[in-house]
Every structure is written in structure tokens, then in C-alpha cells.
Amino acid sequence: MKKNTVHSIMERYQQVPTHKVRQTNPCTLDQQTLEKIAELNVQSNPIHYSVIYEWLSEIDPYFADSVQTSIDSDNYNDNTAETLYMNLVAQFLHEKIPNEEMESLLNGLIVHISNWVIHSKQRQATILNDLHTILEQELPPLVSDTLTNSVMPNFLSLHEETEQLRDQVSKSSNAVDKLKEELKKANFFAKTDELTNIPNRRGFNENIEEVIQLSLLNQQPFALVLLDLDFFKKVNDTFGHIVGDSALRYVSKLLKEETKGRDCIARIGGEEFSIILPDISYENAIRVANNIRAKIASKTLSVKNQEKPLKLTLSSGVAIYRKGEEIETLFQRADDALYLAKNNGRNQVCGEQDL
């Protein structure tokens, strides 16, 4: 991939709010990318350049975490880089060609194909009936001979060829229909975190846009809760990444159990999660966040071949949406509250009113 395409891919995240974006000079970042490629002892090719550049820039925290995990586990190589690269390109294409628009185009194509098949059959049947009706009448010998020996054979040949074409078109229609279903699946997986099976950052962005529209329509507030597991690097260092992944799945499962209805959860970073709570007051949002925090803190998880159990805690930040504000502004207030909880000792919930 050319460098200008790499920067085009990066531009898709310009509107994504995150405290993890480094304010780095692009020229310096270019040099850091080349140095890291050399350090990893891989070829300096467009695939590795794109992956490492995006990882160092941390524009997409989830993608950066995937690369970091691969490097930490000594599993970064040509194969893993290619997989990461394809995910990166898929995200870029998803922004340039929205799946909803593509699905609409495919639906239109299926309708046109179906209409053509039906109408062409009807027209040919009408013409064939008319020809038979004409031939049954008393006609001049020359006209009858021309119809019988020239027009009718040519029409029947055309009819047979059209039947074959209709069969091919019907098969194509089935293929388009199957492509549409595959597109739905791709759209789902593109917005789903493969480790925890809950929405990822893209799914979060889509959900919060929908919640904002409902909030404005119904004149009801909603809350954004950001949650970050405390000292999670120590979990990976002590128990290994397999246990760390299990812990993330456990937290995701608990978040599903503790939320309901129109609440939306997502994994938006390595060990960072979010909850969107529609139609809720600030006080109740703080209460929900505290209930989740207390539930996680009260449990210990046994780890195979380990005497010491795994105990998790998390910190949370809560903010209420203000009519007309940008998502980035809401996210930043929740993020500031989260960092206040971290700085105050962790394993606690802070809200925007504490700032």
C-alpha cells in the first residue's frame, strides 16, 4: 500500500474520540515506523509499514491493541501482519462503501433481475400465442410459408436462447442474494469484537449515533459510562495472555448480565469498555456503574495451575449527554471522569460532576 493510501486509511478515525491518540509529528512517526520494522526483524514492505504506522499512531485503540498483543506474544510475523493489514483495509473500505448502501444496491439489482425474468416470459408467451393464432388463419401462401419456415423457427430459437439466459440470470440473482447475506454477516463481524462477541469501537459509534437521534426525538437524556480494568497489564504479565483474554470475556459476560433493554455495551479498547444507558438520570447512571464495579470487585476467579486467584477491579467515568453536543465532547467528559477515578486510587466510579 502506498503511503498516501496509509494516510487515507488513518483519516477515517479523525472523528473518533480517544485519549490514546498520540500527538506525534508525522515525519517522526515515519522514522519510528521504519525503526520498529527493523527492530522486529521483518521486511520493510507496504504491509508491515501500514500495520506498524497505525499501531504507533494509536488512532484506532482497538487495532493498536491487536498489534500490541501480537507483538507481546512474539507472534508478529508476515502471516499475522497480513491478517491485521486486511482488517485495516476492510475498515477503510467499510467507510468508503457503507454496507447499508451496498445492500440497498444489491436489493435493487435483485428486484430488476426478477422483474426482467417475469416480464420477458410474459412477452414471449404473448408473442408465441399471437403467432399460433395467425398461423391458424387462412393466409396467402407466401405469408404462411414465411411465417412457418422463417419467422417461427427464428422466434423459437430466440425463445430457447432467452430461456437459457433467464436460467443464467436466475442463478446470478441467487448469487447476488447470497452475496447480500454474506454482506450482512461481514457487516456484523465488522462491528463485533471477535474476542468478547460484543460490539467493538465501530459498533459503539453506530449505537451512540442511534441513541443520540432517539434522545433528541424523545427529549430524554442518556448516559455514557466508560470502564477500564485496573492494572490489567499485571494480569497478563502474571497469568499470561490466555487468562487475560478469558478475563475480558468474563467482564463482557457480566456487562451483558448487568445491562438490559436498550442499554448498549461495547469493547472500545484493549481493556476498556463502554455502556450507553438511554433514558436515565445522572444519579441512576452512577448507581448502575457502581453496581457493576462492586460486582466485579466482589468476585475472585480461580486460574488453572495457579494457587493465587485472579481478582479484578475496574474504574469508571460517567457523563450525561447534553442536547446538541458532539459525541467527542461527551466522550471526553466521561474519559476525564474515568481518569479522575484512576488518579484517586482506582476501583471506584467518578462522574462529570466530580470534575
Q: Please list the pLDDT of the chain residue by residue as tens digits (355 residues).
A: 333 333 443 344 333 333 333 444 555 888 888 889 889 998 878 888 888 988 988 777 778 888 888 898 888 988 888 888 877 776 665 555 555 666 666 666 667 667 777 777 788 788 888 878 887 888 888 878 887 888 888 877 777 777 776 676 667 667 667 766 776 777 777 788 889 999 998 899 999 999 999 999 999 999 999 999 999 999 988 888 889 999 999 999 999 999 988 999 999 988 999 999 999 999 999 999 999 999 999 998 888 888 888 999 999 999 999 998 999 999 999 999 999 999 999 999 999 999 8
pLDDT of the residue at 331: 94
Say if residue 105 is in the same domain as residue 242. no
Vertex 156: Cα angle to 153 and 159 (nearest 5): 150
pLDDT of the residue at 143: 79
Say if residue 291 is in the same domain as residue 262. yes
pLDDT of the residue at 352: 97
Report helix angle 201-218 to 327-343, nearest 10: 110
**What's the number of domains the chain is made of?**
3
Active site residues: 271
Give the end of a domain, one of 47, 81, 96: 96
For the record, the C-alpha cell of 136 comes out as 391458424
Indicate whether 195 belongs to any domain: no
Say if residue 211 is in the same domain as residue 268. yes
3-state secondary structure at position 250: helix
Say if residue 76 is in the same domain as residue 38. yes
User: What is residue 236's DSSP assignment?
Assistant: H
Transcribe 107-157 into DSSP letters: HHHHHHHHHHHHHHHHHHHHHHHHHHHHHTS---HHHHHHIIIIIHHHHHH
Say if residue 180 is in the same domain as residue 229. no
Specify the CATH number for the domain of residue 327.
Answer: 3.30.70.270
Say if residue 72 is in the same domain as residue 138. no
Say if residue 18 is in the same domain as residue 112. no
Give the end of a domain, one of 55, 71, 96: 96
Say if residue 160 is in the same domain as residue 80. no
C-alpha dist (Å) from residue 151 to 128, 159, 242, 328: 11, 12, 75, 71
Say if residue 288 is in the same domain as residue 261. yes
Say if residue 82 is in the same domain as residue 104. no
Look up the domain containing 147 and give its range. 99-190
- The pTM of this model reads 0.60
Residue listed under C-alpha cell 457493576: 292
Indicate whether 208 belongs to any domain: yes
Indicate whether 82 belongs to any domain: yes
pLDDT of the residue at 14: 39
pLDDT of the residue at 21: 38
Say if residue 33 is in the same domain as residue 173. no
pLDDT of the residue at 94: 54
Say if residue 90 is in the same domain as residue 104. no
pLDDT of the residue at 272: 95
Give the end of a domain, one of 96, 120, 150: 96
pLDDT of the residue at 27: 57
